[in-house]
Amino acid sequence: MQQLAVERLRDADVLLNAGQWSGAYYLAGYAVECALKACIARLTGLHDFPEKDRVLKSFSHDFENLLVVAGLKGLRDADISTNAVLRQNWLAVKDWKEASRYQRWSEVEARELFVAVADASNGVLSWITGHW
């Protein structure tokens, strides 16, 4: 899942540069989902039988729910309380949903989400990868 998250962000960048705003928007958000699910997967050992409740909650597409399952919500909340840029980036991604793929997104919306995810120092993906 870690590699998939990085690949989806690269795909979003390609679509953004090609003027495909809606696809870029969707894939930038999907990169965040994949990254959070990679953190969840990390919690399960190779020969562990995962807890059913955690497995079922992992099938969510909601970032806040996935943060809880990954055990990262408290850390994220603490970090966004002291880092205004990171807070703004999380606010930019909070409304992304799996159903975003069925909507049309403007260039401004797509670029805003992409930057919030991809920012190397305070981006959402950068923050998540720090917890892989």
Overall average pLDDT of the 30-45 stretch: 92
Domains detected in the chain:
2-129 (1.20.120)
Q: What is the pLDDT of residue 57?
A: 78
Does the reported pTM lie above 0.85? Answer: yes
CA atoms within 13 A on the CB side of 37: 19
Asked whether 128 and 35 are in contact (CB, 8 A), the reply is yes
Overall average pLDDT of the 52-59 stretch: 78
- Sequence-ordered list of residues with C-beta below 8 angstroms from that of 43, at least 6 positions apart, any chain: 54, 70, 71
Q: What is the pLDDT of residue 46?
A: 65
pLDDT in tens, 65-113: 999 999 999 999 999 999 999 999 999 999 999 999 999 999 999 999 9
